[in-house]
Amino acid sequence: MEWLSLIKAIATVLAILLATNWIFRIFYLDLKRDFSELAAQEQSNVTTTRKENETALYRNFLLPLGFPLVTGLGLSLKYKLRNGNFADIWCAIMDLADKNSIRFVDQSKDLSLQEINGMAKYILETYLSNAHGNVGILVTPSRSQGFIISIASMMASVKYNTLPHFLTSMPRKKLEDISILVVDSWESFSQLRGSEEWYELIIVCESNSSYISGDHKNVISWDQLIHGYKNDNSYMYSAPEDNSDDSKSLLYFTSPHGDTTSFSQGCLVSGVASFVRNFPLGHELNGKDSLAVTGNLSSLNLCLQVWQKVLAVLLHGGKVSFQDTLDLNKLYNPTLLLADANELLTVVKRSVSANSSFVQKLKYQWATALLTEGVFTAIGQLPIKSIEKLRSTYLLDCVSDSSLVNSFPKNVPKLKRGQSGNTLDSLQLNYLRAHLGSRVIFEYYCPHTVMGPIAHTNFYDYRILPPRVSANFIFCGPISTTLEGKLVQTKENSELDVTRRQGMLCIRGFTIGKPVEPARLEKARELSGEFGGGEGWMPMVGIFGLWGQDGCLYLYK
Amino acid sequence: MSFLMKLVFGGYNTSEDPTGVTEAPSADQGSKNNDGPVVEGKFYPRTLYKYNGHDHESILIAVKGKVFDCSQSRQFYGPSGPYTSFAGHDASRGLALNSFDMETVRGWDQPIDTLEDLTPQEQESLDSWYEFFESKYPCLGTLEPEPGVNV
């Protein structure tokens, strides 16, 4: 009799467990799932034709079929649409600038947009309106002076055709286009060693002016530069009827290898529009958002990549904060986080080991189990107050050899495996999602050639790929909505078969920079002609990968 | 049970391999129902034939030696459409004669129609159709005779 009761009890428990599992799967997981399996399998629109020695063209499925790539802001100019430019963005930002502000690394409190706008407009009219060249900037936008002078120069790019020229190191030869140089400190100024004479004006972003001697009449300190400015909460701009401002250059960027690339107003506005559009329904950018730009992103090397996101957040009335070092405990309660992928993983691992209670581990397991079922949960979030509001994290990862891409070599190198071993895989992305309680979007950049990511994972894509895929490939997600991509056959890598969707990456679209040096521009044209048939394709030399059956880009590690 | 087990004891699902490296090789490109995107360039009557909207979702039509992708006009050239006889064929003679009869199109194993016997009026009609196709449909390549089959 006792045996019978025991068997009955076990059978009852089993039945309850099975029923619970079934109910959970049918009524909870299927209803709560963010991304259907079908959507995950079809992340790109693929053309029905391809050229010989090329794959088909791939476009992000966020672009409706038959629609063009994201080209800009879609502003109205009488009965026509136009893409917009920096001045349109800043004008709209200042319309919402009553409450939002920016926290810089050199300030103990937020700087309001009225102050920033006031200083930028003052610099624009006093110093840039009659400049004879561009403004060479050696100060990161994470510092208030760097940000303000960049904004002033971008205003000048529309109004006076004077461009900001972002530098990554002190120029050792004269750059003909630069007439104003901005350096961060008097110490940097002392490293000019006679090259002061190359510039009409040198701005030192420190207040102490005791260094200014009679020998250097073209040097002013930051205090002198902004002396007499007034807070200003308006920036008026009306586009000319011929729409000519939209096609102007926005900035120059000189990479650490000395290659200068020009980016147009279109690069900025299409990147901003693309970032805004990537937020799905119900998760749109809004005035409560606060973006934290942290760690390596504040460096001169990567400063080009922060502008689109920073301006997009400000455009919606949100706040921005910059931090030199990434420390989860010291963030200013951001809702959006922009960080270097490996840097963030290291910091999160450190925080996890500091919060390694049994309950926290159990929560992490639950979060991981739910995430791989396609259900987002913040249950596993680390108990850190400053990340409580975090909802979306952007991880930056860069091509292993940016200088190779930027040099447009005639000879394509042979694919070398094992060069990107440190890149985060899908399992680590879910580790971050679970512990941060935030969506994590992996973005793949060519930081000196393309403004904004080349490809990025979907907001809702929480898949964990099989270990063999992660061991061999970087999972980049579908191509960005401002670009379209294809893979091409190269004679140096004949083992990559285009009929199996393998080859070297070529991109075309609106966020790609243009080489400034005539010789490099000619090399780029020749290479484009060779691989893209002169149809505006830019070969990314040295970047080899394949298109997955899900429409995502997988690059060989 | 598996989900509850994972919830309690840890573990996760992995997705299927989207790259195909861990599975048998497949030459699939894009559409899963067909054998990949159409390769632009040179077509033979034999290779053109399958793009008739039935054997392959794309509809290609050759006019005056050029091959056009007419998939966007499936309602005209697709199966059950009024001009379905042109799909996957050289439609030059049919267009010149303004005839949709099957007799105006040649089989894939016959020589390519040289159109030498067309009257000036028929030639003019063909030229205007060619202009229409050129302006409306993307050109994917050329139609050429296959050695040993069409020559």
CATH number at residue B106: 3.10.120.10
Q: Does residue B136 fall inside a structural domain? A: yes
* A chain contacts of residue B138, beta-carbon cutoff 8 Å: 49
Same structural domain for residues A24 and A143? Answer: no
- Determine, for residues A52 and B40 on separate chains, whether the beta-carbon distance falls below 8 Å: yes
A70 in a domain, yes or no?
A: no
| pLDDT for A22 | 79
**CATH number of A52's domain:** 2.30.38.10
**Mean per-residue pLDDT, A313-333:** 92
In a domain, B120, yes or no: yes
Residue A448: CB atoms within 10 Å: 26
**Which of chain B's residues have a Cβ under 8 Å away from the Cβ of A24?**
3-4
Whether residue A505 is found in the same domain as residue A427: no
Residues A146 and A16 in one domain: no
- A489-517 mean pLDDT: 93
Report CA B151 to chain centroid distance, whole Å.
Answer: 22
Question: Is the model's pLDDT at A80 over the cut of 90?
Answer: no
| Amino acid of residue A223 | D
Q: Is the pLDDT of residue A541 over 90?
A: yes
What tens digit of pLDDT does each residue of A19-35 get?
887 787 777 777 788 88
Could you tell me where the beta strands, DSSP code E, fall in A390-438? 392-398
Rounded to whole angstroms, how far apart are CA atoms A39 and A56? 20
Q: How close does chain A come to B69, measured CA to CA in Å?
A: 9
Q: Measured between alpha carbons, how far is residue A151 from residues A116, A124, A142, A144, B120 in Å?
A: 9, 9, 12, 11, 67
The answer to whether residue B93 is domain-embedded is yes
Q: For residue B62, tell me if it sits in a domain.
A: yes
Question: Does residue A542 sit in the same domain as residue A460?
Answer: no
Q: Which domain holds residue B65?
A: 41-143
A486 vs A74, higher pLDDT: A486
- Residue A101 sits in a domain whose CATH number is 3.40.50.12780
Within 8 A by CB and 6+ apart from A165, the residues are: A134, A135, A136, A137, A175, A177, A178, A251, A252, A253, A254, A260
Q: What is the mean pLDDT of residues A264-280?
A: 95
In A, which residues are within 8 Å of B18 by CB distance?
Answer: 41, 465, 469, 548-550, 552, 554
Residues A159 and A224 in one domain: yes
pLDDT score recorded for residue B33: 47
- Checking if the pLDDT of A523 tops 50, the result is yes
A368 in contact with B, Cβ within 8 Å: yes
Q: DSSP character for A16?
A: H
pLDDT of residue A296: 82
Write the secondary structure of chain B as one string of H (helix), E (strand) and C (coil). Answer: CHHHHHHHHCCCCCCCCCCCCCCCCCCCCCCCCCCCCEECEEECHHHHHCCECCCCCCEEEEECCEEEECHHHHHHHCCCCCCHHHCCCECHHHHHHCCCCHHHCCCCCCCCCCCCCCCHHHHHHHHHHHHHHHHHCCEEEEECCCCCCCC
Q: Does A344 share its domain with A204?
A: no
Tokens of A14: 């089993």
Q: Shortest CB distance from A472 goes to which of B14, B21, B31?
A: B21
State the pLDDT at residue A318: 94
Would residue B69 count as lying in a domain? yes
Is the residue at A296 inside a domain? Answer: yes
pLDDT of residue A30: 77
Q: How far apart are CA A256 and CA A97, in angstroms?
A: 35
Strands A336-340 and A290-294, by their bridges, are parallel
Question: For residue B14, what is the nearest residue in chain A, using CA coordinates?
Answer: A464
Is residue A69 one of the residues assigned to a domain?
A: no
Flag whether B30 is in a domain.
Answer: no
Whether residues A443 and A329 fall in one domain: yes
pLDDT at B61: 95
Question: CA A520, A522, A527, A532: dihedral to nearest 10 degrees?
Answer: 130
Q: Does residue A10 sit within a domain?
A: yes
In this prediction, residue B28 carries a pLDDT of: 45
Is B35 an 8 Å CB contact of chain A? no
The enclosing domain of A377 has a CATH number of: 3.40.50.980
| Domain annotation covers residue A146 | yes
Contacts of A113 (CB under 8 A, 6+ apart): A93, A94, A97, A100, A101, A102, A233, A314
Segments of chain B with pLDDT less than 50: 26-33
> Given B3, B7, B37, which is nearest A48 (Cβ)?
B37
Measured CA to CA, the distance from residue A316 to residue B109 in angstroms comes to 64
- Report which residue type is found at A91: C
> How many domains does chain B fold into?
1
Q: What domain range is A198 assigned to?
A: 75-266
Residue with tokens 């050696």: A138
A37-71 pLDDT tens trace: 888 889 999 998 899 899 999 999 998 888 889 88
Q: Name the residue among A403, A442, A401, A399 with its Cα closest to residue A424.
A: A442
Same domain, A248 and A323: no
Higher pLDDT, A250 or A25: A250
Helix, strand or coil, per DSSP, at residue A8: helix
Query: CB distance from B26 to chain A under 8 Å?
Result: yes
> In the listed set A457, A476, A495, which residue is the last one of a domain according to the structure?
A476
* pLDDT attached to residue A212: 62
A118-150 pLDDT, tens digit per residue, is 999 999 999 999 888 999 999 999 999 999 999
> Does residue A240 sit in the same domain as residue A312?
no
The fraction of chain A above a pLDDT of 70, given in percent, is 98
Q: Does the distance separating the beta carbons of A17 and B1 come in below 8 Å?
A: yes
Q: What is the mean pLDDT of chain A?
A: 91
Is B85 part of any domain? Answer: yes
Report the domain count for chain A: 4
A470 and A553 together in one domain: no
* Boundary (domain end) residue, out of A216, A237, A266: A266
- Is residue B64 a part of any domain in this protein? yes
Of A444, A476, A508, the domain-final residue: A476
Identity of the residue in B12, B19, B36 whose CB atom sits nearest the CB atom of A554 = B19
CB contact under 8 A, B12 and A464: yes
